[in-house]
Amino acid sequence: MKPKQVVIGIIVALCAGLGIYALFKSHGAAYASDDEAETTTNVVSVQVGALQRMTLRDYVTGYGTVGPAPATASEPAAGAQLAAPSAGVVAEVNVVEGQRVEKGDVLMTLNSGTATARYTEQELERQKTLYARQNTSLKNLQDAEAQLASLQVIAPLSGTVTRLNVKPGAAVDLSTVVAEVMDLNRLAVSTGIPASEAGKLMPGEDVQVLTQPPVATTLSFVSPAVDPNNGTMLARALLPADSGLRPGQFVQLKIVTAVHTNCLAAPEASVVTDIAGRSVIALVNGDEAVQTPVQTGFRESGRVEVDGAGLKEGDSVVTVGAYGLPDKTKIRVTQ
């Protein structure tokens, strides 16, 4: 064999060897890269929270309207619509809307077809004088009082004139509502609660009216009857005098039906449902998240009552990233 051919053969062999070495080296690097990628994808960044001991409440929620408090055994209703005591024409209106009045104040006077308010006032004074002198009968005095009363609209309670429906010169009859008076310090909020939920309600339970600021009160009345038109039961709570609420205001309220004290509570975001339909939390154990089944209870203000084997106050649980997290996943806690 010629020397030139030998040299060419050696060069070809060296090139082939270098190519095989480079091929194996690239494959080895690829395998190493795959292993690193697999290790990286198995570490999940999460955020965590802690289990706490706290008091949680169960609520029934509803929407209601503020209005005058109803009559009780000791007090009359806090609001009244006043009708004309007789047919006639409004002679004088002595008040304006928003004015404070006392029980017994004359809000307006009427003139009838047979007498004017001014004449009947004068006649009553005359009968009083005559009766004091024993120159008239008690019946005549009472008739004069009754005639004047039929021409006066009297405030039946102390409160505020919230509405005036007539002006002087307006014709009225017994069906005409001429004014409305309300005691703004005696208000109540009434709501309709679905019958399926109202069975848990009892007078005396705490109520939170969700205004700004919130108003705290207690349930004063739960109707025993269901409204056939909408399937709800009437519930009512009397408001404190300084509630700041106004008649006709529409508000949301929560009625406390049960209280659990010193219960173990988890952040709401940490309680998820696994593929078997169970409620679970991802309990942090070192650098792993261990799925732990729990029984859930009351929910309030972003917290959920939980009960599970081995759980204790201060345990760290995954919040952000908990959903769909496999058991014993390697985790990295982030802020």
What architecture is the 44-53+261-333 domain classified under in CATH? Answer: Beta Barrel (2.40)
Cβ atoms of 285 and 329 within 8 Å: the answer is no
Listed in order, the ranges of the chain carrying CATH 2.40.420.20 are: 44-53+261-333
The closest of 52, 20, 25 to 319, measured between CA atoms, is 52
Please, which pLDDT band fits residue 25 given cuts at 50, 70 and 90?
A: low
pLDDT single digits (tens) 166-220: 999 999 999 999 999 999 999 999 999 999 988 889 999 999 999 999 999 999 9
Q: Say which CATH architecture domain 82-182 belongs to.
A: Beta Barrel (2.40)
- Note the pLDDT tens digit of each residue in 50-97: 999 999 999 999 999 999 999 988 888 999 999 999 999 999 999 999
Rg (CA), the chain: 41
Q: 176-210: b or e for each residue (b if 16 or more CB lie within 10 Å)? A: eebbbbbbbebbbbbbbbeeebbeebeeebbbbbe
CATH code of the domain made up of 59-66+196-260: 2.40.30.170
Crossing angle for the helix pair 117-132 and 138-149, to the nearest 10 degrees: 160
In the chain, which residues fall in CATH 2.40.30.170? 59-66+196-260
3-state SS assignment for residue 105: coil
**36-45, 162-171, 258-267, 289-298: range with lowest mean pLDDT:** 36-45
DSSP code per residue over 130-183: HHHTT-S-HHHHHHHHHHHHTTEEE-SSSEEEEEE---TT-EE-TT-EEEEEE-
Tally Cβ neighbours within 10 Å of residue 272: 16
Tokens 């006066």: give the residue: 152
pTM > 0.75: yes or no: no
What share of the chain in percent tops pLDDT 90?
A: 80
Instruction: Work out the pLDDT band at 41, boundaries 50, 70, 90.
Output: low
Cα separation, 86 vs 108, whole angstroms = 13
Structure confidence by residue, pLDDT tens digits, 274-312? 888 999 999 999 999 999 999 999 999 899 999 999 999
pLDDT band at 39 (very low <50, low <70, confident <90, very high): very low
Beta pairing, strands 250-267 & 206-209:
antiparallel
Q: What average pLDDT does the chain have? A: 89
% of the chain beyond a pLDDT of 70: 88
Determine the pLDDT at residue 275.
87
Range(s) within the chain of domains with CATH label 2.40.50.100: 82-182
CA 304, 308, 311, 312 dihedral sign is: positive
